[in-house]
Amino acid sequence: MKKLLKRLLIKLNRLCGYEIIDQNEFSFPSLKDKNYNNLSIINQKSIVMPLGEVKITRKIKSLGIIVRTNSNIHISDQNKKRIFNKDKLDYISKSLKSLIISINLFSNKFKNFKINLTIVDQSKSEDIIQLFDDIFSKLNFEVKIIPFDKNEYKDEINLDYNKDIYGNLSSLFKCFNIGKQSNDDLVFFLEDDYLHKETLIEEMIMTYERISSQLNKELILVPSDYPYLYMKERETNILTGSHRHWQTLDKILCSFMTSNEILNSYWDNFKLTCQDHNDPIEKYLNKICKKEICISPIPSLSIHMANANSIFGVSPFIDVKSEWEK
């Protein structure tokens, strides 16, 4: 009799839009997934205990990921060594492998979600072609690989063609143009020297849905928690994402997720970022952060494998060696 009443109560509550919590066990008898960190349903609702439910009005059904790679340049515009002092191809390999793991984890969980992956590569190397073949064979969809020639934007970038920074800005401009022409709901621009957590894709998408639905605004999400964010006093707001806290930013680097609406509304800023060697490079992207909501996770979802002493490098409070070896 008790079990029958319990089932009836669960059904009645669900018809009214509520879920039952077993306070003694801290479990959810009405849900298949009993883990309190996985109560959300993509494109429907976001539940964070004990904050309750957010109805998802900003629905996301597809993501375009655009990664630019270059095994010929160790660190653009710098003479510093990266953490662990490995070959550039090692960082590209680790970065892409961690990204594929995250994509597959998300795709296995959300079968109807569309992900498109584009690689913009300047390497022109047999080694990196072999690397791409090995890594991307673990995906169940085709990856678009673009062997990029920096000549494409020679008339639009006001820099010495032979400098490394020219190639960096030229490939970035290519990625921005691909993103602008994309039909995906969100676009994720990534560089080849970030090591990603397994939950990166899931948390970025579900956090975008949750916070965008709450605030009724488009966003810019940065995947890394950079050291420079803690170097001086600044005003910030803390928001609750799908699985962790996020802080508002007044400046970003060149790996971030955003929407076509942001890309089109601020296209001049994206274009100006690539046309000159600005100081900093992200000068015009940072101007967008003065008007729109830009956020990054606490703790980090991606680790920038730059120099250990760089304020734009390794995220704080992360076991980087363990992540690298994993």
HEC secondary structure over 131-196: HHHHHHCCCCCCCEEEECCHHHHCCCCCCCCCCHHHHHHHHHHHHHHHHHHCCCCEEEEEECCEEE
Please say if the pLDDT value at position 163 is more than 80.
Answer: no
Looking at residue 214, its pLDDT comes to 95
pLDDT per position as a tens digit, 65-115: 999 999 987 665 556 788 999 999 999 999 999 999 999 999 999 999 999
pLDDT per position as a tens digit, 16-51: 766 666 655 556 666 655 555 566 778 778 777 677
**For residues 176-204, average pLDDT:** 97
| 3-state SS class at 297 | strand
Domain residue spans in the chain? 62-325
Say how far apart CA 231 and CA 226 lie, in whole Å: 10
- Percent of the chain exceeding pLDDT 70 equals 87
Please say if the pLDDT value at position 311 is more than 90.
Answer: no
Q: Tell me the two tokens of residue 109.
A: 């969980």
**For residues 237-263, average pLDDT:** 96
Looking at residue 133, its pLDDT comes to 94
- pTM (2 decimals)? 0.89
Looking at residue 158, its pLDDT comes to 87
The pLDDT confidence band at residue 6, using thresholds 50, 70 and 90, is: low
Residue 322's CB is within 10 A of a number of other CB atoms, namely 8
Say how far apart CA 1 and CA 9 lie, in whole Å: 12
Looking at residue 151, its pLDDT comes to 85
Q: Tell me the two tokens of residue 290.
A: 């003065």
- Residue 85, classified by CB atoms within 10 Å of its CB into exposed (0-12), middle (13-18) or buried (19+), is exposed
Residue type (1 letter), 238: I
| DSSP code for 84 | T
Rg for the chain, CA atoms, rounded = 21
pLDDT per position as a tens digit, 117-138: 999 999 988 999 999 999 999 8
Nearest to 172 by CA among 252, 253, 263, 274: 274
Q: Structurally, what CATH architecture does the domain formed by 62-325 represent?
A: Alpha-Beta Complex (3.90)
Looking at residue 115, its pLDDT comes to 97
Looking at residue 28, its pLDDT comes to 64
